[in-house]
Structure 1
Amino acid sequence: MSQLTDFAHSYPLLSLIRSRDEDGWTEHSETVDGNDSPSNGTDSSQPRVRGSSPLSTEASESSEEDEDTFSFETEAIETRASKKRKTISSPKGTQKKGQKKARPPSSPLWLSSPAKSRRNAHAATPLIIGSERRWKTEDEPDQEPKLFPFEPARTPGPQLDTSKNYTVLELFQLFFSNDVVDTLCSNTNKNAKRRHEQGFKPVSVEEMYNYLSIVIYMGLLNVHTVSDYWVPNRLYGIPFCRTVMTMTRFRAITYSLHMSDPAEDEENDKKKGTADYDRLMRIKPLKDQILDACRAFYHPFQNLSIDERMVHSKARHSLKQYIKSKPYRYGFKLYVLADSRNGYTCDFKVFMSKNPSASGKGESYDAVIDLLNIPHLGTGYHIYVDNYFTSTTLFRDLYKNKLGACGTIRENRVGLTGVQENSMPPRAKRGTIRWLRDGELLFTKWMDARPVIMCTTIHKAFAKEQVQRRKRLEDGTWTTEPVPAPAPIKSYNKYMGGVDLSDSLIKCYSVAQKTIKWYKTFFYHFVDVAVVNSWLMHKDMAVTKNTKPMAQKQFREKLCSQLADIALKGDVQEERDEEQKEQPSEQRVEMQGEKHGEKQDEKQGEEEEEVEVGLLCCPVPTKDPITVALCNKASEGRRQCHLCKHKTIWQCESCKVALCIIPDRNCFRIWHVKKDNDKQDSS
């Protein structure tokens, strides 16, 4: 014992524990043979724990903090002391062969090492800390949540005159109006002037609409290169693009295409590295105009979805992102608000960078709040998001603004309160449901192929809903069986796909082209959004009038034709104005002829004689080739064909009528044959 005393004196902490024993603490001691003995006059009938002495009255009144402070230190010191004691009491060689080593008396069986205790404590850390509520099963009833009445700011649907029949072009011009296209033309012409484009003819509004018709047409018909659209050989032979615009002109507009004022871009570039620098300056004018149109001409229905969208691009730019789970992994990331009913793009926001959020609640929180313009929308909407956006802070704030929310949630989401990690059994059966309610928030765990955790403010925990799941039998065949599912699961699967639906509609006939300019990628995407949104409004208008809507392919085909004919409408109007100007002079000649006693038949005879003398019905160019530049001979002076309404540079020398002369469409011959037949019938 004298050696043990010397050992204890060598460890001051052990001496401290011994000294505290005199004040009411009991020393943890044990005899060599394992028999416990009471100390300090304590009652031996008091319940005792194996390996330790009962605590005195003063010790029981001590704080738990003091016990935790010396728990690990005492265990370590006593373990060393027991090893020393064992060495003294059991010399080497005294242990018999096959006899098990006695456990050190100062190490109880249920106490683990400090390292192991720390690992177990970390593994058992609750998912959401600070709640004493327990998880409940599907057999326990849940209270009905308080749902806000659906009160939209406007009547959901297209904000158009239902009594009017809108053409395909008029619907598209809601997004690309004359003012929008005029701004686009102005900035394109300024950019061409800045780049000193030699021989660049300024782009007009009508010509920009023609350019858009070819861009949309390229989404309908894909070829290997852009030049193949203008190849007049047997394999391709695509006449549409050749009749609208030459390839040289199309490429010239593409190269100079610009959405912002180049002078403002130069001023903005000087601010790089400062807080005033706008990274979206080159797309801002058109982006803002498209967003204003998306919000103004359509009001969404009750169920909305918010998700990420990737605009595919491999341009070298700091805004480009990488998302592994998306079909296009590289591109520009957009936060999109879409109507779950039809996929209409109601609003979107371009992801800038991972800077500190303005609200201090995270980038995903700010994205949802920015997209939900509550005064513009109204109240009572149901928002569906994925686990990137879901948080209790967001859902509570939306609930305060009378908006419901539902979405999957991550287990490690910061700020959760009330959910324990051990809510689901280790090997739960498929369809097992656990739920927990924390005020307006409802957390549900559902075992499918793997556990799915949901958070919602608009559903009950379990409404006896079922889903069909495939199951493999013992003989190798597959069958389906009903599996119980929480109410949030079915609603989430039904309404979360609004953005995905919009992406699929855009992808079917996307007008995107390869380009080295990152802002042109956004230009093509804005065209896609405008076309899809205008088609969705056409469908709703058709349902309102009880008519059959066009498919998207048919809608785009008609839109291409009407955009290509915009410039031709101006030519037809000019021809009509010229005819109206010529008509009064002819009437004056007839009146003068009547005064002089001349007959109208004599005048027609004189005109026929003039035709027989000098003019024949043969095709000639609408403009003199000598006065036209060599590069513009194929397009200069084009007029609308009298029969097919396409553009042509040919006309009849005698009749002065514009007519097509191509292998697929010889309108010149058809028109004169019909004219001769009419003369024979009249005679």
Structure 2
Amino acid sequence: MIPPRAAMTQATPLVKRQSQFYPFQNLVIDESMILFKGRLSFKQYIKTKKHRFGIKLYVLCDCETGIVLDFIIYCGKDTNIKAEDKNNLGTTAAVVAKLLEPYLNKGHSLYTDNFYTSPTLSTFLLQHKTNSCGTVRQNRKHMPVFDKKLKQGDTDWRSSENLLAIKWKDRRDVVMLTSMHEKGMVTLPKINRSTYENVIKPLCVLEYNRQMGAVDRSDMMLSSVDCTRKCLKWYKKLFFHSIDITLLNAHAMFSTRHTKKTSFANFHLAVIAQLIERYGIVKSIHCDLGNARLQNRHFPVSVPRKPGSTKVGSRRCWVCSHTKQKQAKRKESSYMCPECDVGLCVVPCFKIYHIEATF
């Protein structure tokens, strides 16, 4: 049974977060899209995403490991975040407050883009012992006015007791709002092609670029092994996307516990193999995703005769022709395993095939 849409407005924890994994200091909130082009009242269009049409998610991610901590499904007006907004933060800031609820007052640092960042949100987070940094729109409420025209590389800044707003001219104007950085500049080894001098960036811009890509990086990793397929039901896509995120989190946690590097694709295949080995029934030995032949009960039967033939049926013994313990040879047998669909000598190949993983 599919839950009503109102039930999905709440944040959707993927695991018991604090018992399984607690994030590092830096967190990021960004939008993610699940591709869906069918009819849906809350379908969204974001031109900067790889999947421009689909179901929008507000995603909270750990910058250090890339683990997705939580997400909220955007359901249009039914996304009743304002009802929980006791501080009059506004819609986008209330989304941030809801996702960060388990992590407030614990000294975390949050990075957001200009869709969320505002002086009101930064002040709210600072009151709850949480730093913030992000790009911000100049027309946000309580934002200072930057009326000075800047040349490329120049900066202008305004500050209060707790917040710093800085405007930096790159190819275009970049406005940042931060509660944890100074207005210092950092010289990079990269050379500016027009001036042939080292590139200089504000410290907050440098840290923002370094931490902000966690959600996009997760989407990129999922795109290579995405298990969703073309479907007319949007909730099925959402369900399988949740499974993909769970696998991605499992790979990230595996990487934090083991020094050996394993790609996400290989980890994905290993999980499939173990699931098939434990719960699946493989009817063909040519399926190399697991050793289910070692787990179930199998019995030999006579190879059936060919239609219209009076000769006894026979098949090539798989063990004799694929063994590595001795010289492989072609040997015919009148017995087979119907579950595995392979010919086998009754003695000793049938036993070897169903007991030994390699022969």
Query: What is the distance in 1 between the residues matched to 2:347 and 2:21?
Result: 50
Q: Which runs of 4+ in 1 moved over 6 A?
A: 569-574, 641-644
Residues of 2 paired with 1:306 and 1:284: CA distance? 17
- Report the AA paired with residue 264 of structure 2: Q
> Given the alignment, which residue of 374, 395, 399 partners 2:126?
399
> Which residue, 249, 256, 264 being the options, matches 1:552?
264
Asked if the contact 1:642/1:659 (under 8 Å) is kept, the reply is no
Task: Quote how far apart the aligned CAs of 1:675 are.
Answer: 7.4
User: Which amino acid letter does the alignment assign opposite residue 431 of structure 1?
Assistant: G
Write the distance in 2 (CA, Å) between the matches of 1:541 and 1:522.
29
What does residue 148 of structure 2 align with?
423
- Give the Cα separation in 1 of the matches to 2:235 and 2:351: 56
Cα distance in structure 2, aligned partners of 1:354 and 1:389: 18
Are residue 361 (structure 1) and residue 86 (structure 2) matched? no
Q: Distance in 2 between matches of 1:291 and 1:342?
A: 16
Q: CA deviation at 1:340?
A: 1.1
- Mapped to 1, the partners of 2:123 and 2:351 lie a distance apart of 81
Map Cα deviations across residues 282-308 of structure 1 (whole Å, 9 max, x no partner).
Answer: x799x95x6234564221111111001
Whether 1:440 and 2:162 are equivalent positions in the alignment is yes
Q: Deviations over 1:546-600 (max 9, x none)?
A: xx13211111121222222223499966749x9xxxxxxxxxxxxxxxxxxxxxx
The answer to whether residue 343 in structure 2 is matched with residue 668 in structure 1 is yes
CA distance in 2, matches of 1:669, 1:470: 71
TM-score by length of 2: 0.76
Q: Give the whole-Å Cα distance in 2 for the aligned partners of 1:571 and 1:673.
A: 16
Query: Residue 336 of structure 1: SS of its match in structure 2?
Result: strand
Distance 1:386 1:674, change over 3 A: same
Q: In the TM superposition, what is the alpha-carbon distance from 1:373 to its structure 2 partner?
A: 2.2
SS in 2 for 1:299: coil
Q: 1:337 corresponds to which letter in structure 2?
A: L
Contact 1:467–1:484 (8 Å) recurs in 2: no
Contact 1:295 / 1:346 at 8 angstroms: preserved in 2? no
Residue 294 and residue 402 in structure 1: after superposition, are their counterparts in 2 closer, same or farther (change >3 A)? closer
> Which of the residues 89, 101, 119 maps onto 1:373?
101
Between the aligned partners of 1:574 and 1:484, the Cα distance in structure 2 is: 65
Separation in 2, partners of 1:642, 1:533: 40
What is the aligned partner in structure 2 of residue 564 from structure 1?
276
CA offset digits 1:440-492 (Å, max 9, x no partner): 0001111111111100000000144446354248xxxxxx6312211101000
2:66 aligned residue: 343
Q: Pairwise mapping of residues 266-345 of structure 1 onto structure 2 (< 5 A)?
A: 278-279=4-5, 288=12, 291-293=14-16, 296-345=19-68
More strand by share: 2
The one of 302, 310, 326 aligned to 1:618: 302
For structure 2, the residue ranges without an aligned partner over 5 or more in a row are: 282-290, 305-317, 323-332, 353-359
Larger Rg, first or second structure (1 or 2): 1
User: What SS does the aligned partner of 2:41 have?
Assistant: coil
Match of 1:410 in 2: 137
Residues 344, 536 of structure 1: 8 Å contact kept:
yes
Distance 1:467 1:295, change over 3 A: farther
User: Which residue of the partner structure matches residue 508 of structure 1?
Assistant: 224
Listed one character per residue, the Cα deviations across residues 318-344 of structure 1 (whole Å, up to 9, x for unaligned) are 121112222211111110001112321
Structure 1 pair 393/564, CA: closer, same or farther in 2 (3 Å)? same
Cα distance in 2 between the residues matched to 1:320 and 1:295:
32
The whole-number CA distance in structure 1 between the counterparts of 2:39 and 2:350 is: 61
| Aligned mate of 2:176, from 450, 454, 463 | 454
Aligned to 2:285: none
CA–CA separation in structure 2 for the residues paired with 1:510 and 1:489: 32
Distance across 1 between alignment mates of 2:49 and 2:301: 62
Match of 2:237 among 500, 508, 521: 521
Match for 1:554: what amino acid?
Answer: N
Report 1:104-115 matches (<5 A): none
How far residue 280 of structure 1 moved from its aligned partner, in angstroms, is 5.3
How far apart, in 1, do the equivalents of 2:189 and 2:121 lie?
29
In structure 1, how many angstroms separate the alpha carbons of the residues matched to 2:256 and 2:170?
37
Between the aligned partners of 1:657 and 1:293, the Cα distance in structure 2 is 45
| Selected match of 2:193 from 471, 478, 490 | 471
Rounded to whole Å, the distance in 2 between the matches of 1:433 and 1:421 is: 10
Q: Is the Cα contact below 8 Å between 1:382 and 1:403 reproduced in 2?
A: yes
The answer for the alignment partner of 2:209 in structure 1 is: 493
423 and 520 in structure 1: CA distance in 2 versus 1, 3 angstrom threshold? same
Distance apart, 1:349 and its partner CA = 0.5
Instruction: Tell me if 1:536 matches 2:249.
Output: no
Structure 1 residues 422 and 387, CA gap change in structure 2 (3 angstroms): same
Q: In structure 2, what is the Cα distance between the partners aligned to 1:446 and 1:670?
A: 78
Aligned to 2:355: none
> Whose relative contact order is higher, 1 or 2, with alpha carbons under 8 Å and at least 6 apart?
1
The 5-angstrom pairing of residues 577-596 of structure 1 reads: none
Residues 280 and 294 (structure 1 numbering): CA distance in 2 closer, same or farther, change over 3 Å? Answer: farther
Aligned amino acid, residue 493 of structure 1: N
**CA contact under 8 A between 1:433 and 1:485: conserved in structure 2?**
no
- When residues 295 and 502 of structure 1 are mapped into structure 2, their CA distance, relative to the original with a 3 A threshold, is farther
User: Identity of paired residues, percent?
Assistant: 30
Quote the residue 2:329 is aligned against: none
Q: Given that residues 310 and 329 in structure 1 are in contact (C-alpha distance below 8 angstroms), is that contact kept between their aligned partners in structure 2?
A: yes
1: CA distance between counterparts of 2:45 and 2:262? 36
Q: Return the alpha-carbon distance in structure 2 between the equivalents of residues 508 and 492 of structure 1.
A: 26
- Equivalent pair of 2:33/2:52 in contact (CA under 8 Å): yes
Matching residue's letter, 2:280: A
TM-aligned CA distance change 1:366 to 1:617, over 3 Å: closer
Instruction: Give the root-mean-square deviation of aligned CA atoms.
Output: 3.6
| Residue-by-residue CA offset, 1:79-125 (whole Å, 9 max, x unaligned) | xxxxxxxxxxxxxxxxxxxxxxxxxxxxxxxxxxxxxxxxxxxxxxx
Larger helix fraction of residues: 1
After superposition, what is the alpha-carbon deviation per residue over 1:480-513, rounded to whole angstroms, capped at 9, x for unaligned?
6312211101000000111111111111211121
Q: Which amino acid aligns with 1:423?
A: K
